[in-house]
């Protein structure tokens, strides 16, 4: 039985997705022979309520100088981070010369707003290529993993931070105790940590099993997040649901007793109690829903293939790797995947080796169906692909259920 990464108790995984490649391991044909696989298995620890991967991939295999994910590819996400930055400036930056540090700052999509107002800032980003993009935009960035040693170095050089930020990064870090300890070192006594990640409640309610992949070591709820930070003298003082990434939660954390705890924290705890995030049966039910969802999607794609319809994937997202490999999708069923990221184009998807092609190949010859792997960007994508619809094209989505639109 695996040992919980948070409380060190032993727990029983509730589901395996089988042999899985790296979610962002887009590759060339020459790299097929050396492709890395692990078993994607997820478990729930009844002692501390943390949902987590049972087998972890070495972070250096995932976040490196060729990390193909640039945050700024989505205009919706750019707007979201603009709003996030505005909220921080309005509500949480109270000193005269504030200092903001963001972990996992990627290409600077959020910090650019602080840089633009001449607010002291520092991005911490271990993936060299995306960090470089931020530096080119004039955003102070260092290319390292966020840990206690780094926190001490930052304090020595620039002092403690008023605000620490993290978006879609905390759930990637296996050693969260080290992060929480680093937060204690780096954060001013009256400071705040704000971070957001996909929310377990949404993942369960929407059967959004594609949120589960190597980079997401954890699936947070306010229950598990509170447990973790309480070990380090920190507490959750507010929670704010976010519509991004298919349903995220923003947690506001402060040193215990330094700020008022919002009613929203209690309300979310009650919602989680109702949903049963504390109970093993909930995860058994989730597993059954996932299996049903897979069967429906495979049945639909096979039927379309038999009818001679063309199906093309839309957006080679990290999440798609779980769906494609778990459902056993191949280029027989999904001809290619259209994606706007140059670093992915001309390559093949991890595991199943479906070709990834530039968006113009989608528009040049519209398929009958587009399988929306970027379902979390549905509004943005469907909004700009009116012509596909007008040409008789249909969308296939699989979250919260398999559906043709």
Instruction: Report the interface residues with ligand TMP, using CB under 6 A.
Output: 73-74, 315-319, 339-341, 344, 374, 376-377, 380-381
Q: How many CA atoms lie within 13 A of 228 on its CB side?
A: 29
Nearest to 193 by CA among 134, 236, 130, 243: 236
Return the one option of ligand TMP, Zn ion, none that residue 370 interacts with (CB less than 5 to 8 A, by type).
none
Please report whether residue 177 would count as binding Zn ion according to CB under 5 A.
no
Please report whether residue 1 would count as binding Zn ion according to CB under 5 A.
no
Window 3 to 62, contacts with Zn ion (CB under 5 A): 4, 6-7, 9, 45, 47-48
Using CA atoms, how far residue 267 sits from 161, 219, 223, 235, 251, in Å, is 30, 19, 12, 16, 14
Return the one option of ligand TMP, Zn ion, none that residue 315 interacts with (CB less than 5 to 8 A, by type).
ligand TMP
Please report whether residue 280 would count as binding Zn ion according to CB under 5 A.
no
Return the one option of ligand TMP, Zn ion, none that residue 45 interacts with (CB less than 5 to 8 A, by type).
Zn ion
For residues 23 and 324, the answer to whether their CB atoms sit within 8 Å is no
Nearest to 216 by CA among 50, 30, 36: 50
Query: How far is the C-alpha of 227 from the C-alpha of 64, rounded, in Å?
Result: 31
Please report whether residue 303 would count as binding Zn ion according to CB under 5 A.
no
Give least dist CB 342 to ligand TMP, A. 10
Nearest to 343 by CA among 145, 76, 67, 7: 67
Please report whether residue 79 would count as binding Zn ion according to CB under 5 A.
no
Give least dist CB 374 to ligand TMP, A. 5
Give least dist CB 47 to Zn ion, A. 5
CA torsion 274-174-139-194 (nearest 10°) is 30
Return the one option of ligand TMP, Zn ion, none that residue 4 interacts with (CB less than 5 to 8 A, by type).
Zn ion
Give least dist CB 180 to ligand TMP, A. 26
For residues 2 and 10, the answer to whether their CB atoms sit within 8 Å is yes
Q: By C-beta, is 6 or 77 nearer to Zn ion?
A: 6
Residues 6+ apart with CB under 8 A from 248: 168, 196, 197, 198, 199, 202, 241, 242
Phi–psi pair at 140, nearest 5 degrees: -60, 120
Return the one option of ligand TMP, Zn ion, none that residue 178 interacts with (CB less than 5 to 8 A, by type).
none
Please report whether residue 134 would count as binding Zn ion according to CB under 5 A.
no
Task: Give the interface with Zn ion as residue ranges (CB under 5 A).
Answer: 4, 6-7, 9, 45, 47-48
């Amino acid at each position: 039985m695996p040992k919980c990464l948070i409380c060190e108790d032993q727990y029983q995984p509730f589901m395996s997705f089988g042999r899985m490649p790296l979610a962002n391991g887009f590759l060339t044909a020459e790299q097929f022979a050396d492709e890395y696989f692990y078993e994607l298995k997820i478990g729930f620890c009844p002692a501390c309520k943390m949902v987590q991967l049972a087998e972890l991939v070495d972070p250096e295999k995932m976040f490196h100088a060729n990390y193909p994910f640039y945050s700024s590819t989505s205009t919706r996400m750019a707007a979201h981070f603009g709003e996030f930055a505005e909220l921080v400036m309005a509500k949480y930056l109270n000193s005269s010369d504030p200092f903001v540090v963001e972990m996992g700052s990627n290409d600077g999509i959020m910090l650019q707003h602080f840089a633009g107002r001449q607010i002291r800032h520092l991005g911490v980003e271990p993936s060299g290529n995306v960090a470089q993009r931020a530096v080119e935009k004039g955003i102070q960035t260092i290319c390292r993993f966020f840990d206690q040693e780094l926190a001490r170095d930052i304090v020595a050089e620039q002092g403690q931070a008023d605000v620490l930020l993290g978006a879609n990064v905390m759930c990637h870090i296996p050693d969260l105790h080290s992060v929480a300890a680093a937060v204690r070192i780096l954060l001013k006594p009256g400071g705040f940590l704000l971070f957001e990640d996909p929310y377990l409640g949404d993942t369960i309610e929407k059967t959004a099993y594609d949120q589960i992949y190597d980079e997401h070591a954890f699936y947070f709820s306010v229950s598990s997040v509170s447990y973790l930070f309480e070990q380090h003298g920190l507490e959750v003082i507010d929670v704010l649901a976010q519509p991004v990434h298919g349903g995220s939660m923003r947690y506001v954390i402060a040193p215990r007793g330094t700020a008022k705890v919002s009613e929203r924290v209690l309300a979310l705890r009650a919602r989680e109690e109702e949903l049963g995030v504390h109970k093993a049966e909930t995860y058994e039910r989730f597993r059954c829903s996932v299996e049903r969802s897979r069967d429906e999607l495979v049945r639909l794609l096979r039927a379309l293939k038999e009818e001679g319809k063309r199906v093309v994937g839309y957006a080679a997202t990290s999440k798609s790797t779980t769906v494609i490999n778990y459902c056993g999708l191949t280029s027989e069923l999904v001809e290619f995947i259209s994606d706007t990221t140059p670093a992915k184009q001309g390559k093949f998807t991890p595991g199943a080796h479906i070709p990834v092609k530039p968006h113009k190949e989608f528009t040049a010859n519209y398929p009958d169906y587009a399988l929306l792997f970027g379902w979390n960007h549905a509004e943005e994508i469907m909004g700009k692909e009116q012509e596909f619809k007008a040409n008789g094209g249909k969308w296939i989505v699989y979250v919260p259920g398999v559906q043709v639109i």
